[in-house]
Structure 1
Amino acid sequence: MVLPNRILRIWMIPLVTCTQYFIQLKAPSTVEALLQSDDTVKAIHHLRPFVEKAFSFGSFEGFSGSFDSDVLARLRKNPLVEEITPDIVVKTCNKDARLGDRASVGISSRYESQHDAPRHLARLSSREALDGDTDSYQYHYPREYQGANVDVYVIDTGIQCDNIEFEGRCSFGKDFTGEGPGDNNGHGTHVSGIIGSKSYGVAKKINLIDVKALDRTGTGSLSSIISGIEFAVNHYKETNSSRKAIINLSIGAFRNSVLNRAVEVAFKSGLVLVVAAGNSNIDACATSPASAKYAITVGAIDDKDDKLAGFSNWGRCVNVLASGVRVISVNAKGMGPLMLSGTSMSTPSVTGLVGLLLESGISPEDVKQRLKEAATMGAVPRLSLMMRPITPNRIAYLPYGGIDHERYDPYHVDVDAGEPSTRYQSAATDNLGH
């Protein structure tokens, strides 16, 4: 398939010949052993002076740096080395930006409902497509489970944590860009607002942790993203092991096994990873972290007609779909809400939903399956998926209230006793192995 360069430039950069590399090792605690071994080799250049950063979390171990051909040749022959990959460029997965008017949003704690809710929230509460009556949009969410005992590590361009929309539930974790705390781009703040702000957020009480791995241009590297994952895993282990934790990755690049391996290790360390499918209208399995086996990969729909967004990646690696076109959320500049499109925007809706599921007692290992079971199946027009093979027709759904009236059974799944009674049904497993 010939990939259109114009689209690719929006969210990821092709690999180029370079001297910056990431080295993944086969076993933990072997970086120093490798360096000591290389110190004894007769060579013009030894490895140690060129190592810029070492990584270690769970069973993942590696390092990055700028290495010449002589050093790389030795590394390729070293039995401790699992893989050598260029330190690829990674970018955000948003499509456009526009300032909108301040939304009129009211929250009724008595009824666990948000009236005049943003469309992306209303779509989570409806089995049917949204109509054009903006005054009727409602978002129904559980009073008991709003994410207060869940932490989300937002690996992004930063978060403007002092925005009143976050109500003091946002804290600075780590900066890997050299820019310091805050968000000079706006992407990370917008994403975080969809996850857990008071007006635009799915999980109204969730805790947000700023892990800044992308700079003011929305660009980072494999090393900076893995640094962010490493921080999240180690911070989670060192601080609140009794709490549940999620990593939101609204970023993407071409498929990279080292990044996918980092996602796997983070998942096996107890965190849930929710990632963007990407915006290149290609098979998501050709990208990372969307192709990571242990990630929850989110594609985008346009909730005006429930069609798959024209930019959204697709295929069997996509687990669920959510609103990703003209989504309003928090503006890092503190003005009216910012409107953005992309799988960067659909991903945090699912992250917030996962936070509610985790707080209700569902385990990190089971949350992907429960998300699939609760989803609305068959709502995306088939014509929209005709040229996007093996894409699950599954829109994220929060089963509280709404038109289905599950009688306060938040994770009720209809059991088909014969012929389906409606076009829209709860989704079981897709048998796609992802």
Structure 2
Amino acid sequence: MAPFSTMLAYLLMVVAPLAAAVPFHNRHSLTPQTHTHTALNMTHLMNVVINPHAKNIIAGRYIVVYNNTFGDAAISAKQAQFAAAIAKRNLGKRDGLGNLLSTEIHSFKLHTWRAMALDADNDMIQSIFDSEEVAYIEADTKVQNTALVAQTNATPGLIRLSNKDIGGQNYVFDTSAASGMTAYVVDTGIRVTHTEFEGRATFGANFINTNDTDENGHGSHVAGTIGGATFGVAKNIKLVAVKVLDASGSGSNSGVLNGMQFVINDVQTKKLAGKAVMNMSLGGSFSTAVNNAITALANAGIVPVVAAGNENQDTANTSPGSAPQAITVGAIDATNDVRASFSNFGAGVDIYAPGVNVLSVGIKSDIDTATLSGTSMATPHVAGLAAYLMTLEGVTNVDDVSNLIKNLATKTGATVQQNVAGTTDLIANNANL
């Protein structure tokens, strides 16, 4: 399955210029743009971090993943020691680029997976690395959306999703599907007041120091494809905005982890295991931490659907696109089933869906529309389809949902045209269920 390098939040914008559990009340920006340095020298930490050559590393910021052979009590005690040391050591201190280091840490507990994100100088991160409770450390990296703005407004994406062949006239669907389901949109936020959402979209959490609403448009567009009244695949679903990307579509791996922590907490609080999907139309360079967090989330009863990415490269180089427990989605043009020229490929791609000139929600007003292209746009077609099938067929875990989607796609006989060898040729379809 399927960069968090720029977690090109697979807000995947390819046309014009390539245009995509912590309580919420602790809203701290996890995208310190002033920390970002594309030519950061990590040679001094080659033996400490597992990704010293990653793109778009955030200077002085790390994701520390704990060894799961230790119990919660031992990890909590060790983390308290780290937090106390950071609070003192980072006070008034700057990193090598002159940026003030934060004195706070962000803790993650996704099912049995535990980690923390923090700012640290070289000596401190070496000390943390030497602790037996620590499994590995990643340098935090930047993520970003990458949706593609198109010039036209017509898109046959929904029609393609319910027709065996190209050129269908209607979107055929069960009007009761996705009732009782919730989709978490981990993205730039959602314009929840838009008429397309009929009151079914709500604000969940904001891990960016900006307004709670969508200032970019990518997240709202994605949400509209999942569950909009006109543009949506699953027209009864509830939509929850989890904002991890700013107005420019930028974010960080640690910010995305905070978003996932919120999702798993909310699902557990509301007893939604087996009734929730998570859409992540974003991505960046390969991240072991992010992929493991996806696995933890899937094990907690949430179906993660992620974008393959828009770099026309193997998804194995990206996260979360390469996460084994995610359903990774590539993009086709629904008018001819041709693989989109920008779409990532490889064995990690599970399914293709319409991702060229997709019409959905805009953010200029509560009735605005926008047309975007990218694997970011293909992904919500499959997230909506997953929720649709979960209610109709009674499947609840990611493996069963993924297999059902693939089986239905196989039955249509439709295949991706001009595809890359070694990549699935299956096109998502609801088989008129």
d(CA) in 2 for partners of 1:359 and 1:393?
Answer: 26
Matched, 1:120 2:175: no
Q: State the 1:127 CA deviation.
A: 1.3
Q: Equivalent residues in 2 for 1:336-375 (5 A)?
A: 336-360=368-392, 361-364=394-397, 365-375=399-409
Q: Secondary structure at the match of 1:88?
A: strand
Q: Which residue of 2 aligns with 1:230?
A: 261
d(CA) in 2 for partners of 1:244 and 1:40?
Answer: 39
1:119 is matched by which residue type in structure 2? P
Does the CA-based 8 Å contact 2:57-2:140 persist in structure 1? no
2:78 is matched by which residue type in structure 1? L
Q: Equivalent residues in 2 for 1:114-193 (5 A)?
A: 118-130=155-167, 137-144=169-176, 146-193=177-224
Q: Secondary structure at the match of 1:394?
A: coil
Alpha-carbon spacing, 1:328–1:269, altered in 2? closer, same or farther (3 Å): same
d(CA) in 2 for partners of 1:25 and 1:292?
Answer: 19
Q: Which residue of 1 aligns with 2:3?
A: none
Q: Structure 1, residues 211-252: CA drift from partner, whole Å, max 9, x if none? A: 111111111111110111110101100113366001100000
Q: State the 1:286 CA deviation.
A: 1.0
d(CA) in 1 for partners of 2:422 and 2:371?
Answer: 30
d(CA) in 2 for partners of 1:339 and 1:237?
Answer: 35
Structure with greater contact order relative to length (CA < 8 Å, sep ≥ 6):
2
Q: Secondary structure at the match of 2:341?
A: coil
d(CA) in 2 for partners of 1:255 and 1:9?
Answer: 21
Q: Secondary structure at the match of 1:64?
A: strand
1:313 to 344, 349, 360: 344
Deviating more after overlay: 236-245 vs 56-65: 236-245
2:405 is matched by which residue type in structure 1? L
Q: Secondary structure at the match of 1:329?
A: strand
Q: Which residue of 1 aligns with 2:428?
A: 396
Q: Cα RMSD over matched residues?
A: 2.7
Does the CA-based 8 Å contact 1:89-1:253 persist in structure 2? yes
d(CA) in 2 for partners of 1:185 and 1:10?
Answer: 11
Does the CA-based 8 Å contact 2:328-2:349 persist in structure 1? yes
Matched, 1:379 2:410: no
d(CA) in 2 for partners of 1:95 and 1:67?
Answer: 36
Q: Equivalent residues in 2 for 1:10-409 (5 A)?
A: 11=20, 14-16=55-57, 18-27=59-68, 29=72, 30-35=74-79, 45=89, 50-98=103-151, 100=153, 118-130=155-167, 137-144=169-176, 146-241=177-272, 244-334=275-365, 335-360=367-392, 361-364=394-397, 365-376=399-410, 379-380=414-415, 382=417, 384-385=418-419, 388-400=420-432
TM-score of the superposition, structure 1-length normalised? 0.79
Aligned length in residues: 370
Rg (Cα) greater in structure: 1
Does the CA-based 8 Å contact 1:39-1:46 persist in structure 2? no
- Listed as ranges, the gaps of 5+ residues in structure 2 are 1-13, 21-37, 39-54, 92-100
1:21 is matched by which residue type in structure 2? Y
Alpha-carbon spacing, 1:54–1:36, altered in 2? closer, same or farther (3 Å): closer
1:71 is matched by which residue type in structure 2? M
Does the CA-based 8 Å contact 1:165-1:199 persist in structure 2? yes
2:429 is matched by which residue type in structure 1? Y
Percent identity over the alignment? 34
Q: Which residue of 2 aligns with 1:423?
A: none
Q: Structure 1, residues 12-42: CA drift from partner, whole Å, max 9, x if none? A: x82337211111111363443224556999x
Alpha-carbon spacing, 1:189–1:251, altered in 2? closer, same or farther (3 Å): same
Q: State the 1:57 CA deviation.
A: 2.5
Q: Structure 1, residues 155-198: CA drift from partner, whole Å, max 9, x if none? A: 00000011111011111111111223211100000000000001
Does the CA-based 8 Å contact 1:38-1:46 persist in structure 2? no
Q: Secondary structure at the match of 2:267?
A: helix
Q: State the 1:393 CA deviation.
A: 0.5
Does the CA-based 8 Å contact 2:274-2:301 persist in structure 1? no
1:83 is matched by which residue type in structure 2? Y
Q: Secondary structure at the match of 2:57?
A: coil
